[in-house]
A and B are shown apart, each in its own frame.
Chain A
């Protein structure tokens, strides 16, 4: 456990050694701030059937920033170690492969959660300035942030896998970006294609991150996405573990 913690703390700190962390933080703060601002200006003085919190988590701005950050966070995880050769001192120390894989995943997850911290302030500021609730209920906050965590875990695990497959960070970023975008857009198919049957539409709806976010950010805590994303994360991390081990046979 101590070794895992040692690895994890290095992973988290390593984000802040590199300029990537600050660029991502700034980019994300800018987009999410703009998102919040534009949603508020749009809603101002108009009766709308949704809350500020729902608007914030379901806008184009939000999703645009959302799919972009994962490749940036995960591309260097394994690829950089392969490229620099630091994988050699790392794996000749008495640590297990799964400890390294999990430490990298959870390191990325911690950084990802740090990215979201400032957004809590938005809602707090809104509430204290307008004396209006930003969300329909407390459960809506919980649902939205739960969805962020679940989808974040899944997308980060895809990024881990992509990074473990190559020693080129750009290649890793492109792979994870493609897979994440593909998954994300598969949820849009039901909107784009009018001729698909209602059962197909329903089926795709189960996998649609957009629909799930819609549900959860209203405060309806649905367990199906929980099961889906936790399972998928475990699958992806298992694949990452095997991809990481395959280096021994590819060398």
Chain B
């Protein structure tokens, strides 16, 4: 659905993105991750034909974004960052206008606009002036606009930025549902969102793709796959030293909580040391209060890839 080859964009000599190569297949929900200024919005703006690349090619649904820009745009629903909208129009009026502009046949405009209003929960504000809407509703208007012409592909630039947790959940569910019929490329820096919604993830940093895989595989790749938390009464033993001897434990940080000792173990990828910890505790007659594994999250992956020095 999207094919990107050696895409590069320079601003005044500085590369915003460099030699990007990736593909998004039909029906995928691709997450685009990266710190601010990594080149996410630049890539999306190029894909949506808003600005041309300095070099490289990209195509959408088989149409070159530069040479067949109009056809490419017709297959695309794009929601820009911060959702710029005409503040002086009413919601329905705006969506009608956008539908006509995107070539929805006149007789189907009312039906399509009705559908997307329903889907995005805009029924109760349909007659309101857009300028008077809250951030959450503006975001939904932007999403409704992106959907109104039934595009094959949705490109959503930070669809949940600036929303409260409930709204984030609603938008996330909506995106998940949309993923059943549409191919989606979405950017975000809210990581749990990606883990929950995306089938594949691209991590981009300083204009380059650092990783591109399924969330599960990315979690498997990183050096510090989560850790184990142990809380125990250990008498006079040097708990940290003993725990470090267990195979697979990379290092241990100890702290106290009243009489209890709390150890945070960092372990190697794909190892489970809990059984060993339990055996050690029962040998030494430690009283265990907690023995739990903390799963690595995409946050760990993200931090490791984008700031390797801090790991």
- Residue in B11, B73, B82 whose beta carbon sits within 8 Å of that of A92 in the complex: B73
B101 touches A3 (CB 8 A): yes
A93 touches B87 (CB 8 A): no
Q: Is B300's CB within 8 Å of the partner chain A?
A: no
A95 touches B101 (CB 8 A): yes
The contact sample of 19 A-B pairs, CB cut-off 8 A, is: A2-B100, A6-B97, A7-B101, A17-B89, A84-B84, A85-B82, A86-B84, A87-B84, A88-B50, A89-B80, A89-B85, A89-B145, A91-B50, A94-B73, A94-B102, A95-B101, A96-B70, A248-B50, A248-B52
CA distance A209 to B282 in the complex (A): 102
Q: Is A127's CB within 8 Å of the partner chain B?
A: no
Q: Is B74's CB within 8 Å of the partner chain A?
A: yes
B contact residues vs A (CB 8 Å cutoff): 11, 45, 48-52, 70-71, 73-74, 76, 78, 80, 82, 84-89, 97-98, 100-103, 106, 142, 145
Given A88-B80, A94-B70: A14 in contact with B88 (beta carbons within 8 A): yes
Q: Return chain A residues, CB-CB under 8 Å to B88.
A: 14, 17-18
How many chain A residues touch B (Cβ–Cβ < 8 Å)?
23
Given A3-B103, A6-B100, A17-B89: A89 in contact with B84 (beta carbons within 8 A): yes
Q: Is A193's CB within 8 Å of the partner chain B?
A: no
Q: Is A251's CB within 8 Å of the partner chain B?
A: yes
CA distance A2 to B106 in the complex (A): 10
CB distance from A55 to the nearest CB of B (A): 39
CA distance A96 to B85 in the complex (A): 19
CB distance from A87 to the nearest CB of B (A): 8
Q: Is A183's CB within 8 Å of the partner chain B?
A: no
CB distance from A77 to the nearest CB of B (A): 13
Determine the residue in chain A with the shortest Cβ distance to B100. A6
CA distance A18 to B129 in the complex (A): 13
CB distance from A92 to the nearest CB of B (A): 4
A6 touches B80 (CB 8 A): no
Q: Return chain A residues, CB-CB under 8 Å to B87.
A: 84
A93 touches B84 (CB 8 A): no
A92 touches B89 (CB 8 A): no
Determine the residue in chain A with the shortest Cβ distance to B42. A251
- Residue in A2, A94, A251 whose beta carbon sits within 8 Å of that of B51 in the complex: A251
Q: Is A138's CB within 8 Å of the partner chain B?
A: no
A94 touches B48 (CB 8 A): no
Q: Which of A11-52 contact B (CB under 8 A)?
A: 14, 17-18
Q: Return chain A residues, CB-CB under 8 Å to B73.
A: 92-94
Contact code string A83-116 (vs B, CB < 8 Å = 1, else 0): 0111111011111100000000000000000000
CB distance from A94 to the nearest CB of B (A): 4
CB distance from B3 to the nearest CB of A (A): 18
Contact code string A69-89 (vs B, CB < 8 Å = 1, else 0): 000000000000000111111
A10 touches B52 (CB 8 A): no
Q: Return chain B residues, CB-CB under 8 Å to A95.
A: 101
B74 touches A94 (CB 8 A): yes
B78 touches A89 (CB 8 A): yes
- Residue in A87, A92, A96, A249 whose beta carbon sits within 8 Å of that of B48 in the complex: A92
Determine the residue in chain A with the shortest Cβ distance to B70. A94
Contact code string A220-251 (vs B, CB < 8 Å = 1, else 0): 00000000000000000000000000001101
CA distance A111 to B257 in the complex (A): 75
B70 touches A10 (CB 8 A): no
Closest 4 CB pairs of A and B: A85-B84, A17-B88, A94-B73, A6-B100
Q: Return chain A residues, CB-CB under 8 Å to B11.
A: 251
Determine the residue in chain A with the shortest Cβ distance to B97. A10
Q: Return chain B residues, CB-CB under 8 Å to A91.
A: 49-50
Q: Return chain B residues, CB-CB under 8 Å to A3.
A: 100-101, 103
Determine the residue in chain B with the shortest Cβ distance to A18. B88
CB distance from A80 to the nearest CB of B (A): 9
CB distance from B144 to the nearest CB of A (A): 12
Q: Return chain A residues, CB-CB under 8 Å to B76.
A: 92
Determine the residue in chain A with the shortest Cβ distance to B99. A6
CB distance from A156 to the nearest CB of B (A): 21
CA distance A95 to B142 in the complex (A): 18
